[in-house]
């Protein structure tokens, strides 16, 4: 069980703080059941209520500082998403961002960076879907690393951008 004041990752909502653990007095909800009261870090007015005992909810603790440092160091070795069928592209992105797994978020970012470079080389623009999932993965990853490493989001962005630039030197397939 998580504790009040802890930071957790909740689905595609990203980093949330547990502001309370209590029963809830909202019609239609079980008043006997304990709920986590979550506040998304990137949405100070947001409120999420999830049952403490649910097996279906994807929630986990944020990375420790050491785990976050290891993740950032491993970015060059993390692969791309294997998307075989264009019709399954969005489902693949959605699954990856909802998995609550930082490595999956990195895979989404790397895949979309490479795809955007390839599209640009062919004179095409980035798609709205690609922009959407890039933003979700980036926000989730940067916010978690920012909280874990106790640094500003801009510092995380610069550090990760430096790591990803190493790979931009790879040949672009056209």
Give yes or no for residue 154 having a pLDDT over 90. Answer: no
Confidence (pLDDT) at 113: 93
Query: pTM of the prediction?
Result: 0.83
Average pLDDT over residues 110-131: 95
What is the model's pLDDT at position 30? 77
57: helix, strand or coil: coil
pLDDT in tens, 1-49: 899 999 999 987 889 999 999 998 888 877 889 999 999 998 889 999 9
Q: Percent of the chain scored above 70 by pLDDT?
A: 93
Is residue 62 scored above 50 in pLDDT? yes
Radius of gyration of the chain, Cα coordinates, nearest whole angstrom: 18
Helix (H/G/I), strand (E/B), else coil: 16: strand
Look at residue 28 in the predicted model and tell me its pLDDT.
81
- Looking at every residue in the chain, the average pLDDT score rounds to 88
């Amino acid at each position: 069980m998580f504790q009040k004041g802890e930071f957790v990752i909740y689905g595609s909502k990203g980093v949330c703080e547990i502001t309370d653990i209590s029963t809830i007095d909202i019609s239609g909800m079980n008043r006997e059941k304990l709920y986590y009261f979550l506040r998304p870090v990137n949405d100070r007015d947001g409120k999420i209520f999830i049952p403490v005992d649910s097996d279906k909810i994807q929630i986990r603790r944020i990375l420790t500082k050491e785990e976050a440092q290891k993740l950032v160091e491993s970015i060059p070795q993390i692969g791309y998403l294997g998307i075989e069928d264009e019709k399954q592209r969005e489902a693949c992105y959605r699954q990856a961002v909802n998995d609550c797994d930082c490595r999956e978020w990195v895979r989404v970012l790397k895949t979309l960076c490479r795809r955007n470079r390839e599209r640009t080389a062919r004179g095409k623009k980035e798609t709205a879907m690609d922009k959407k999932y890039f933003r979700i993965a980036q926000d989730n990853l940067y916010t978690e690393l920012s909280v874990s490493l106790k640094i500003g989001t801009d510092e995380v962005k610069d550090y990760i951008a430096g790591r990803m630039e190493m790979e931009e030197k790879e040949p672009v397939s056209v």
